[in-house]
Amino acid sequence: MTNLTIHPFIAHLQELIMKDDRGALASLRRGLGQPPGAAAEMFRYVEPYLPQTRSRSQEAAYYLIASLFAMHPLSTSEGNVGTHMAQTRSEGGEDALERRFTVLLAAHSEDLPNYLRQTISFLKSKDIPINWNQLFWDIQNWDDEDHRVQKKWASAFWGRAQTKIETQE
């Protein structure tokens, strides 16, 4: 299920694109691969949207989304990362794609920023838009005990493959 209401922070990022604010996007890209707060240029674009009382993981999600969005601002309101990765399927290259996706699903939250940066870069190379609102929510819920985010991504990725197989029979 996709979140219907766009989070104000995601709306703020999308507004930077509409305004063609290249300076802001460059500042946000400087946070790629950095821990939250390491790229001081990001503060003015992220801090006003952070809740007053926040956890480290919440803060990390804001900074991570901001830097990833600045790298690949193409947006959609549909799907999740599993859906987006499934859109890159091609004849013969599925083993490597599945390995890449499985590693992402198994990522510990501390390693998630690196794997997501690689994934978003890959999706950018394929011109696949990202549901930033959903990804923002998913990152904040990555460590849920029931692994619901990972299950939803897996269902979107492999569920589409199953549908494709059924329609070919």
Which DSSP state fits 5? S
Average pLDDT, the chain: 90
- pLDDT category at 140 given cuts 50, 70, 90 is very high
Q: Residue 131: name the closest of 73, 60, 49, 64 by CA.
A: 73
Do 77 and 131 form a contact (C-beta atoms < 8 A)? Answer: yes
Q: Residue 84: name the closest of 138, 153, 162 by CA.
A: 153
- pLDDT category at 165 given cuts 50, 70, 90 is very low
- pLDDT at position 92 is 58
CA angle (141 as vertex; 46, 163 as ends), nearest 5: 115
Average pLDDT over residues 43-61: 93
> What homologous superfamily does CATH list for 8-168?
CRISPR-associated protein Cse2 (1.10.520.40)
Instruction: Tell whether the model's pLDDT for residue 121 goes beyond 50.
Output: yes
Q: Residue 13: name the closest of 47, 58, 45, 50 by CA.
A: 45
- pLDDT category at 4 given cuts 50, 70, 90 is low
Q: Residue 65: name the closest of 2, 120, 144, 103 by CA.
A: 120
> pTM of the entire structure?
0.89
Sorted by sequence, the CB contacts under 8 Å of residue 134 that are 6+ apart come out as: 2, 3, 79, 80
